[in-house]
């Protein structure tokens, strides 16, 4: 249809006034729906940034907690060494620790007065230390619940071996000399693993 014909037809009929802008708005609206994709991507990126910030905060907290746990293990080893000295030097008998079975009632010391006071102080301090270790472990577990920790397979194997060694120590038929040696080793291993986990958290980010 020619342009002249359109003008002639418009002249012989009642004129209408369509607004071409509506066509553009329809086109813009259709194309604009694509903006919802951009908005969603932006939202997910913002959300991911927030998640990364939270993960980074949690990672730093975990590293600090593992460092605190390492310190607690070091102090616990010192307390155990003090207990060993008390059991050897703070009693009135000469039984070697290797002759005393590591079980309830297996050790019957005759403490000197000063020896017993030291023993009592050590027992109270160790109980406090145990409470601190439990609290730190609880804080770590709460953060691990919401944080996907990534550690090297080698370190995971060490953790599994540590668990197995704990169970072996629990089931073992030991004397007090063997018990002290075994507990020193397990405390040292716990200290080592705490340090390795802390280093792993820092190295992988």
Split at pLDDT 50, 70, 90, the class of 72 is very high
Average confidence score pLDDT of the chain:
83
Nearest to 86 by CA among 128, 114, 51: 114
Tokens of 3: 């342009």
Q: Which token pair is 8?
A: 């002639």
Does residue 119 sit in helix, strand or coil? helix
Quote the DSSP letter at residue 100.
S
Q: What is the mean pLDDT of residues 12-23?
A: 68
pLDDT of residue 24: 74
Q: Taking the domains of the chain in order of start, what are their residue ranges?
A: 58-203
User: Reduced to 3 states, what is the DSSP secondary structure of residue 111?
Assistant: strand
Write out pLDDT tens, residues 75-118.
Answer: 999 999 998 888 888 777 777 888 778 788 777 767 888 888 98
Non-local (6+) Cβ contacts of 150 within 8 A are: 204
Among 156, 132, 140, 159, which residue's Cα sits nearest to residue 59? 140
* Structure confidence at residue 13 as a pLDDT band (50, 70, 90): low
pLDDT of residue 2 exceeding 70, the answer is no
- Residue 51, judged by CB atoms within 10 A of its CB (0-12, 13-18, 19+), counts as exposed
> What residues have CB less than 8 Å from 63, skipping those under 6 apart?
198, 201, 202
User: Could you read off the pLDDT of 32-53 as tens digits, one per residue?
Assistant: 777 777 777 788 888 888 888 8
**φ, ψ for residue 12, nearest 5 deg:** -95, -5
- Tens digit of pLDDT for each residue in 156-197? 899 999 999 988 888 888 888 899 999 999 999 999 999 998
């Amino acid at each position: 249809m020619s342009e002249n014909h359109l003008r002639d037809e418009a002249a012989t009929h009642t004129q209408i006034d369509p607004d071409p802008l509506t066509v553009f708005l329809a086109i813009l609206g259709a194309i604009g729906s694509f903006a919802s994709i951009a908005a969603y991507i932006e939202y997910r990126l913002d959300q991911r940034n927030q998640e990364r910030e939270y993960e980074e905060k949690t990672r730093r907290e975990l590293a600090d907690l593992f460092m605190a746990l390492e310190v607690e293990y070091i102090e616990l080893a010192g307390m155990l060494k003090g207990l060993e000295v008390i059991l050897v030097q703070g009693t009135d008998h000469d039984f070697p620790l290797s002759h005393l079975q590591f079980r309830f009632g297996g050790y019957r010391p005759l403490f000197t007065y000063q020896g017993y006071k030291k023993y009592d102080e050590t027992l109270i301090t160790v109980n406090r230390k145990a409470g601190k270790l439990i609290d730190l472990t609880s804080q770590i577990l709460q953060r691990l619940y919401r944080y996907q920790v990534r550690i090297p397979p080698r370190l995971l194997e060490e953790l599994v071996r540590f668990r197995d060694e704990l169970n072996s120590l629990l089931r073992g038929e030991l004397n007090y000399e063997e018990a002290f040696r075994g507990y020193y080793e397990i405390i040292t291993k716990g200290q080592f693993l705490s340090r390795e986990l802390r280093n792993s958290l820092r190295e992988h980010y």
